[in-house]
């Protein structure tokens, strides 16, 4: 997995913003009130979550990991009566200016993150993950097409790959001495290899894994995010496996992790 640059972050974030803006323009009143893939949220509530967090982050430049974003701005955004596409675009334009003013050194700023202390660059990559997944919470529920290729999808997959040892060791529970390969066939093509040697660890290559699980990158991400039903994907043949049948079945059903 290659290190991500400031240009990568900018392009991925812009992809997410533009996709959310275009999606909002085509939603009917019924669409806004429809159930999303998030059990407790309508489509409107998904948008509120995504955009209100971006409003919180507008102009926020952390100097320490203890410096929290001003979360009170989230409620201010939700209460703002401005028509939705307009107020969303206003927030995104503020964030676009923030990103345009960043330097590569800013990526290394110490930063609070929802997963613990980190850097601003890592936090911005997590924001890409959050927005990209939430866009599909809406589009999958409404049967809309999405662009699942490119740098945004690559950064999103990076976040799952960063946790693949935890997923395999703690969620799937692959036994000691066993190994697994996830063969992602596209739109983002990637192979993830994990061996358990006392602890589950990602490795560069496996010559003879105990099981190979094959799926597309979008299904893999949505399963890892807990957004779609594993059984439905197994039944549809969207996720398959070769090798140890019990391990493959367990892997296909237990990818979900919490970021």
In this predicted structure, the answer to whether residue 248 has a pLDDT above a threshold of 90 is yes
pLDDT recorded at residue 1: 64
Q: pLDDT category, 12, cuts 50, 70, 90?
A: very high
Give the pLDDT mean for 32-61. Answer: 96
At 190-221, the pLDDT tens digits run 999 999 999 999 999 999 999 999 999 999 99
Domains in the chain (CATH in brackets) are: 6-157 (1.20.120.450), 163-253 (3.30.1050.10)
In this predicted structure, the answer to whether residue 68 has a pLDDT above a threshold of 80 is yes
Give the residue from 112, 117, 107, 154 showing the smallest Cα distance to 132. 154
pLDDT recorded at residue 166: 96
Is the separation of the CB atoms in 35 and 141 below 8 Å? Answer: yes
Give the pLDDT mean for 83-110. Answer: 96
pLDDT recorded at residue 3: 76
| Residue 119 exposed, middle or buried by CB count within 10 Å (0-12, 13-18, 19+) | middle
In this predicted structure, the answer to whether residue 2 has a pLDDT above a threshold of 90 is no
| Percentage of residues in the chain having pLDDT higher than 70 | 99
At 138-197, the pLDDT tens digits run 999 999 999 999 999 999 999 999 999 999 999 999 999 999 999 999 999 999 999 999
pLDDT recorded at residue 176: 97
Q: Whole-number mean pLDDT of the chain?
A: 96
| Percentage of residues in the chain having pLDDT higher than 90 | 95
Q: pLDDT category, 39, cuts 50, 70, 90?
A: confident
The dihedral over CA atoms of 166, 170, 172, 175, expressed in degrees to the nearest 10, equals 110
In this predicted structure, the answer to whether residue 228 has a pLDDT above a threshold of 90 is yes
């Amino acid at each position: 997995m290659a290190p991500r640059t400031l240009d990568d972050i900018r392009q991925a974030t812009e992809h997410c913003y533009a996709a959310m803006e275009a999606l909002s323009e085509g939603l009917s009143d019924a669409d806004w009130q429809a159930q999303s893939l998030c059990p407790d949220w309508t489509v409107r509530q998904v948008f509120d979550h995504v955009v209100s967090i971006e409003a919180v982050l507008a102009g926020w430049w952390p100097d320490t990991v203890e410096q929290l974003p001003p979360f009170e701005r989230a409620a201010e955004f939700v209460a703002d009566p401005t028509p939705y596409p307009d107020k969303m675009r206003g927030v995104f334009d503020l964030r676009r200016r923030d990103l345009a003013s960043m330097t590569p050194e800013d990526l290394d700023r110490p930063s609070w993150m929802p997963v613990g202390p980190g850097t601003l660059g890592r936090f911005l990559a997590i924001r890409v993950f959050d927005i990209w997944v939430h866009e599909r919470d809406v589009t999958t529920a409404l049967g809309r097409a999405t662009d699942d290729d490119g740098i945004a999808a690559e950064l999103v997959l990076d976040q799952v790959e960063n946790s693949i040892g935890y997923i395999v060791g703690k969620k799937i529970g692959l036994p000691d001495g066993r190994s697994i390969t996830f063969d992602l066939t596209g739109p983002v093509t990637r192979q993830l290899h994990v061996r358990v040697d006392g602890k589950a660890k990602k490795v560069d290559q496996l010559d003879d894994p105990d099981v190979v699980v094959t799926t597309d990158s979008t299904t893999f991400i949505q399963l890892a995010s807990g957004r779609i039903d594993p059984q439905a994907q197994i039944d549809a043949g969207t996720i398959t496996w070769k090798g140890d049948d019990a391990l493959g079945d367990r892997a296909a059903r237990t990818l979900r992790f919490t970021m």
